[in-house]
Amino acid sequence: MTATLGATPTIVLVGHGMVGQRFLEALAERGLTATHRVVVLCEEPRPAYDRVALTSYFSGKTPEDLSMTDMEFIETHGIELFVGDPAETVDREARKVTARSGQVFEYDVLVLATGSYPFVPPVPNKDAEGCFVYRTIEDLLAIEEYAKTRATTGAVVGGGLLGLEAAGALKGLGLTSHIVEFAPRLMPVQVDDGGGAALLRTIEDMGLTVHTGVGTQEIITDESGAVTGMKLSDGSELATDMVVFSAGVRPRDQLARDCGLTVGERGGITVDEQCRTVNDPHVFAIGECALAADGRVYGLVAPGYEQAETAAATIAADEAAFTGADLSTKLKLLGVDVASFGDAHGATADCLDVVYADSRSGVYKKLVIGRDGELLGGILVGDAEAYGTLRALTGSVPPVSPEQLVLPAGSGGGAQLGPSALPDEAVICSCHNVTKGTIRGAVTEHKCTTVPEVKKCTKAGTGCGSCVKVLGQLVNAELEASGVEVDKGLCGCFSQTREELYEIVLALRINTYQQLLDRYGREGARGGDGCEICKPAVASIIASLAPTIGASGYVLEGEQATLQDSNDHFLANLQKNGSYSVVPRIPGGEVTPEGLIVIGEIARDFGLYTKITGGQRIDMFGARVEQLPLIWARLVDAGFESGHAYGKSLRTVKSCVGQTWCRYGVQDSVRMAIDLELRYRGLRSPHKLKSAVSGCQRECAEAQSKDFGVIATANGWNLYVGGNGGATPRHADLLAQDLSDAELIRLIDRFLMFYIRTADRLERTSVWLERIPGGLDHVRDVVVEDSLGICEELESLMADHVANYADEWATTINDPEKLARFVSFVNAPDTPDPVVGFVPERDQIKPDLPLLSIGMRPTENTAEVLEGSAQR
C-alpha cells in the first residue's frame, strides 16, 4: 500500500540510532513536528539506544536501561515510528521510500541516518558457527548465549575501542580472552606507541592476552563447522571457541548507491556543509553513513549530533553548516581511562612533545606543543583527570608550563588549572558544542544556580557526560565571581560539610545531635530542633562511631529515635499502602530447610506476600506496624536477625556457590560472603551498601556492580570498589588483586571506614569515588599504601563496630518500653490501621490502592483475602 500524504509536508527518517533520535529532537525543538508529518523507518527490533554504552549490558544494564527513546516524546510529537521495518528502496524521482513490510511513503524531505556496519576481514570461514560481530544489542545477546553454552576461550579481532570492550565483555563472561590487532599497538587511531605500551601493560595485568602486529589468516573449524581456532599471519595458531570481529566499521551507504546518490571512493554518502546530498536537495545524510564536506566520515556520536542539528536547521530554513568536528574522545576501557584530543599524534609541522610516563602505575601523558607554546593536542592513558581542562585549552597557550600540566599533583611540579584558566570560546561539551561562555551566560543571564539547571538550559553534560565535572566547577566559579556565596554546608543548620561534621564528632567525642547543633550549628539554628536533612545525617555519623564516642548503637535509643527517617522509626521499610516489609538477614544467601520452614510458616500465619529478592534473601510484605514485634519474636527465636533493609547500612553480600559445588569455582565464595556480611552487618553509612563475592571470573554473583565486590582468582581474591547497579549504574574499579583472606578483609575495613568518613550525605560509593579528588588512585593510596597514615585508625574504628554489634530487633523485642512504639494509634494501641488493606493477586496479596483512592473501605484481613482468592 502507499501512504498518501495530502497537503502536510512529510519528513522520512531512515534509521533510528543515536543520531537519528537527536535529529527528531532537533525537529521538535524547531516546531517542525507540528508542521510536518514525520515517519521513521528503523531496521533494528528496538528503537534508538545508547550504542556508546553498549558494553554496559554485560555489567548489568538491560536493553531497556540503554534505551534513548522516550515513547511519550514520540507520541506527543505525532512521530510515526516503524520498528523492525527498514527502508529497502528509494525512488528519488517519485520521492517514495518502500519499506520491507511493503509500505510506501512519499516524502518531501528524506534523511538517511543508516549508520555503519562492522567490517569483517575476508578470511576463510569468517561466517563459521562461533563467529560474531560486536555492534548491536542482538549481537551481544547472541555472544552471551554462545559463551554460556559453547565456549571457554574467545578471541577478538581488532584492538581498537570496540575490540577492547568486546574482549572485556568476553572476560566478564568467564572466557579466557585474546585480542588480535594487526597494528603494532592497541588503539592505533587514538594513542601513540607510548600510550599503547601503557595500555598494553595494564590490560595484560588484567589477565587478557594481546597479540599485536599480526593479522588473521583463517578461522579454523571442526567437522561440524564450529570455530576451534585461528591461523595468524606470523604462522602461529590460536585455540579458541569463539571469534568476535571488531576490526572497524564501514558507512552503510548501499541504499544511497542503489538510488544513484553520490558516494565517496571509500564509502559514505557525499553531502555539503548543510548535510544535504550533493546531487539531490531533497535528501540529507547524517552520522556515520555521511561523507562530510571536509572529506571525512565521522565515527563519533558528537559530530553526528552536530550533523543532526545542521540538517534540522536547514530543513527549518535556518542558517547552519557542518564544517568539521572535534575528534577528542575520553573513554574508560576495562576500567582504564584513555583520552586523546586535538592533534594527538603531532601531525602539525614543527611541534614538540612533553611526555610523562609511569610504567609501574600504567600512566602515560603526552602533550603536543607548538613552537609558540600553543597546546595542539595530547594523549592520556591511565589518568585522564585533566582531560576536560586540557581539551578546552587546546588551541591556546596555557597559563602554566606544559611540564606542570602532565606531572602528578603533589609531585612538586604538578599544577591543577581551574575553570578561570579557560577562555570563553573553549568548548566544554563537545557532544553539543557548548562553550564556556554559554555556560557562564546560563548562570549570569538565565539565573541558573545548579548543574542540573545549566544542563537543562544549555544541554551541556547531557551527552557522554565527560564534561560534567568541569561543568560543576564552572558553575560554582561563576556564582562566586558574581558575588554569590556557594554554600557548601550540609544544610541550613550547619555550615560544615558532612565530612567535617564526622571529624568533629570523632575528634571531640560528641555523642548527641543536640550537643553538636548547639556547639557547631549556624547562628540561629543553635538551640533549635534541626531539620530533616541534618538529623538523619548526624544520626548516621553517631551510629557509625557509636562504640568509639560512647554513644548507644541502638538507633531507637533516646534522642537517636527522634532523628531517624520513616523506615528506621519502626526498623522496617514502609510500603505504599502503609504496611511494612520484614526482611531477615540470610548471609551469603545460605539458609537451612528449617529456616525456610520458619519463614514460610510466619508468612502463612500473618498472611504476608513473599518474594525472593535479587540480593538472595526473602522479603515478606504486608505486615501492620503492631504485627512487627510478633513476627520478629518468632524470627529471632529461630536464629534470624535484622536484614537492615530499612537502614543506610550494609544490605547483603550476595554469592555464587563457589568451589564447594561449582566445577568452575576456585575459592569458597559462600564462606567469604557469610564472613563479610556478618562482619559488616549493621554498619551505618552515608548510603546503603551492597556487596557480592564470585567464586571465579565467570562472575555469577555480579560483584562488579556492587559498592564493594570480590572475585576469586587462583591466587586469592580481587577487590573491586565503587560499583552501583541502581539508576545510574557504574562498573566497579579494581582496587587490589590476588589478596589473602586477611588482606582482603583488612582492605575492605579501611575502604568502608574511609568512605564513611569522607562521603557526602546520601552519597553512594560510586558517586563518592568519582567526586573525591584523585578518584580511585587517591583511595588506593590511602587504604592500600596508607599515604595519610590513618589506616590504623580506620581499622580500629571497624574493630569497634564489629565488637559492639547487636541485633536491633533482638534488642527491641526484649524491652517492653521499646515495644510501646509499635502501634498505629498511641491512644488506641490495640486498634489496627483501617486504611491498610489488600486485594488478592496470583494467590498472594497486593496493596489495595485503587479502593483507597476512591474512598471505599479496604479489606482488613489478609487471611480473608487469600481465602476469597482460593474460592474464586
Do residues 766 and 705 lie in contact, with contact meaning Cβ atoms separated by under 8 Å? no
Q: What is the pLDDT at residue 143?
A: 94
C-alpha 367: how far from chain center: 30
Q: 64: which residues sit within 8 A by CB, 6+ positions away?
A: none
Q: Is the pLDDT of residue 407 over 90?
A: no
C-alpha cell at 178: 585474546
Q: What is the pLDDT at residue 561?
A: 75
Pairing status of strand 375-381 against strand 363-370: antiparallel
Do residues 663 and 674 lie in contact, with contact meaning Cβ atoms separated by under 8 Å? no
Pairing status of strand 116-118 against strand 249-251: antiparallel
- Banded model confidence at residue 864, pLDDT cuts 50, 70, 90: very low
Q: Of 651, 684, 677, whose CA–CA distance to 553 is shortest?
A: 684
pLDDT digits (tens, 9 = 90+) for 791-850: 999 999 999 999 999 999 999 998 888 888 888 776 667 777 777 888 888 888 888 754
Q: Is the pLDDT of residue 780 over 90?
A: yes
- Please give the C-alpha separations between residue 251 and each of 19, 47, 114, 123, 565, in angstroms, as whole numbers: 14, 20, 8, 21, 55
* CA dist., res. 729 & res. 62, Å (int): 11
- Banded model confidence at residue 411, pLDDT cuts 50, 70, 90: very low
Grid look-up 505486615 returns: 623
Residue 56, CB half-sphere, CA atoms under 13 Å: how many?
24
Pick the CATH number of 419-483 from 1.20.1050.10, 1.10.10.1100, 3.50.50.60, 2.140.10.10: 1.10.10.1100
Q: Is the pLDDT of residue 622 over 50?
A: yes
Q: Determine if residue 457 is labeled as part of a ligand binding site.
A: no
Q: Is the pLDDT of residue 412 over 60?
A: no
Q: What is the pLDDT at residue 257?
A: 96
- Banded model confidence at residue 526, pLDDT cuts 50, 70, 90: confident
Give pairs for 310-314: CB < 8 Å, separation 24+: 310/273, 310/274, 310/275, 310/286, 311/23, 311/26, 311/111, 311/274, 311/275, 311/276, 311/284, 311/286, 312/23, 312/26, 312/27, 312/29, 312/30, 312/32, 313/26, 313/30, 314/274, 314/275, 314/276, 314/284
* CA dist., res. 866 & res. 453, Å (int): 49
**Range 131-247: architecture per CATH:** 3-Layer(bba) Sandwich (3.50)
C-alpha cell at 35: 508542521
- Banded model confidence at residue 1, pLDDT cuts 50, 70, 90: very low
**pLDDT above 70: percentage of residues in the chain:** 92
pLDDT digits (tens, 9 = 90+) for 165-201: 889 889 888 899 999 999 998 888 788 888 888 888 8
Q: Domain 2-117+251-315 class?
A: alpha beta
**Fold match flag (2-117+251-315 vs 648-806):** no
Instruction: Describe the strand order of the beta sheet including 153-157 as a list of residue ranges.
Output: 131-133, 242-245, 153-157, 176-181, 209-212
Quick one: which H or E segment has residue 506? helix 498-508
* CA dist., res. 778 & res. 755, Å (int): 12
Q: What is the pLDDT at residue 2?
A: 42
- Banded model confidence at residue 579, pLDDT cuts 50, 70, 90: confident
C-alpha cell at 469: 565535572
C-alpha cell at 352: 614538540
Q: Is the pLDDT of residue 857 over 70?
A: no
Q: Determine if residue 662 is labeled as part of a ligand binding site.
A: yes
* CA dist., res. 179 & res. 609, Å (int): 49
Q: What is the pLDDT at residue 727?
A: 57
* CA dist., res. 755 & res. 231, Å (int): 49
- Banded model confidence at residue 866, pLDDT cuts 50, 70, 90: very low
pLDDT digits (tens, 9 = 90+) for 218-276: 999 999 999 999 999 999 999 999 999 998 889 999 999 999 999 999 999 999 999 99
Helices (H), 696-790: 741-758, 765-771, 775-783
Q: What is the pLDDT at residue 853?
A: 34
Q: Position 472: which residue type? A: G
Tell me if residue 96 falls in helix, strand or coil: strand
pLDDT digits (tens, 9 = 90+) for 86-114: 999 999 999 999 999 999 999 999 999 99
CATH 3.30.390.30 fits 326-417, yes or no: yes
* CA dist., res. 695 & res. 315, Å (int): 57
CATH number of 648-806: 3.30.413.10
Q: Position 234: which residue type? A: D
- Banded model confidence at residue 151, pLDDT cuts 50, 70, 90: very high
Tell me if residue 262 falls in helix, strand or coil: coil
Q: Determine if residue 448 is labeled as part of a ligand binding site.
A: no
Q: Position 135: which residue type? A: R
Q: Position 87: which residue type? A: A
Q: Determine if residue 656 is labeled as part of a ligand binding site.
A: yes
Q: 471: which residues sit within 8 A by CB, 6+ positions away?
A: 428, 429, 439, 451, 454, 455, 460, 461
Q: Is the pTM of this model over 0.85?
A: no
Summarize the confidence of residues 778-799 as an average pLDDT.
Answer: 94
105 backbone dihedrals φ, ψ, rounded to 5°? -120, 125
Average pLDDT, the chain: 87
* CA dist., res. 771 & res. 779, Å (int): 11
Domain ranges within the chain, ordered by starting residue: 2-117+251-315, 131-247, 326-417, 419-483, 498-564, 648-806
C-alpha cell at 740: 589473602
Q: Position 796: which residue type? A: S
pLDDT digits (tens, 9 = 90+) for 422-437: 777 777 777 777 888 8
Tell me if residue 133 falls in helix, strand or coil: strand
Q: What is the pLDDT at residue 139?
A: 93
Grid look-up 580506620 returns: 794
B/e letters for 115-132, b = 16+ CB within 10 Å, e = fewer, are bbbbebeebebeebebbb
* Beta pairing partners, 311: none
